[in-house]
Copies of this chain bind each other. A is one copy, B any other.
Amino acid sequence: MERVAIIGASMTQFGQRDSWIRELLAEAGQACLDDAGVEGSEVDHLYVSNMASGEFEGQTGIANAVAHDLNAIPAYTARIDQTSSSGGAGVYSAWQSVASGASDLTMLVGGEKMTHRTTAEATDVIASLTHPAEYKHGVTLPSFAGLTARRYLHVHDAPRESLAKVAVKNHKNGVDNPHAQFQKEVDLETVMESPIIADPLRLYDFCPITDGSAALMLCPESVAKEYTDDYVTIAGIGGATDTHVVHERADPTVMGGVVDSGEDAYEMAGLGPDDIDMAELHDMFTILEFLQSEGLGFFEQGEGWKAVEEGVTDRDGELPINTSGGLKSKGHPLGASGVAQIYEVYQQLMGTAGPRQVEADTGLACNVGGFGNCVITTILEASQ
């Protein structure tokens, strides 16, 4: 079967934005059209990945709004929601639209507008994705993260500092990302002494609340060649769920959705963990970077923390992780994050990542919905 290619990508400035969701989506969408050299009217399918524009802003129908704003009518549109992995789910939908033959040119625009709500309000919107059995006990995603981190440190005899070093590394990478919400380094002491949020996790173990949007242009590889010689292909993609009720998992430090979606993506690509040159992982909480790097087979179970301690995942390490700064410093506008992960891998494989550039022909993105309730893993390869 012919591969699906990516021929353009964009992301807006992430952070606290004055624009509403429609404006953010249109901004990234127009930049993506420009990057790909495509007119809105050429687009066959237009997907919007977004979790909760209605809940955050009282605006629904945003996929139709974007078709209007980008002059893409009569392109078919739909909104794809898979909670915090809406972006990855959008990538999977866009891939399916091309691979099925339904569309020869599909644009995906992911975005979320969140910062106009208080932290408590935003946290509650996000917590509404949890199972009622846990939600009614007041469990939020940060509290799941705290419990999981405590378990991980205990079982694997890992130092608390190893978690903090994820934050230090990703903030350092974010300094060179002009779109990142935080473009400043933090030192180990600052992270370790920041306020406790969900013990043992502290403020700097968490990604911020963010506004932003990102977009991709997908088409069959044969169509890509009509536009450009330089493009990226989707070599493998997979998605998988784990239990909705987190406490039903046999081992909360193993993310079943990561393992299963990774296996599917590797199998489709005909590749394994050793073939991956760089990866963007979903570091909504520092602990998640360990769990994903282990679930995807980069490191043995319980060894992910050592890789960070030893610098293996630094930008100049053997397997750079989150060269973009990750969700931690780049920010996490829910529906945009999975798209922005692919944006970063695309830039790295195209050789256009500027001061963040690493050597890479093959990259992976792992986007986590909820607390691992559903995960989408995508593997990209450079065309040349």
Contacts and interface: CB of A to CB of B under 8 A. Distances in A.
Contacts of A38: none
A256 B68 CA distance: 13
Contacts of A242: 73-74
Given A54-B54, A73-B241, A81 B82 contact: no
Say what secondary structure dominates the interface of chain A.
Answer: mixed
State the number of copies, please: 2
A54 to B, nearest CB: 4
Interface string A56-69: 00111101110110
Contacts of A65: 131, 244
Contacts of A59: 128, 132
B54 A239 contact: no
A55 B64 contact: no
Contact of A374 (B63, B92, B239, B374): B63
B51 A52 contact: no
A311 to B, nearest CB: 33
A369 interface: yes
Nearest to A46: B241
24 contacts: A51-B60, A52-B60, A54-B54, A54-B55, A60-B128, A61-B370, A64-B129, A64-B241, A64-B373, A67-B241, A67-B374, A73-B243, A74-B260, A76-B374, A77-B374, A78-B82, A78-B89, A80-B80, A92-B102, A95-B100, A95-B102, A96-B99, A96-B102, A97-B100
Interface of A: 1, 22, 45, 51-52, 54-55, 58-61, 63-65, 67-68, 72-83, 89, 92-93, 95-97, 99-102, 125, 128-132, 237-245, 256-257, 260-261, 369-370, 373-374, 376
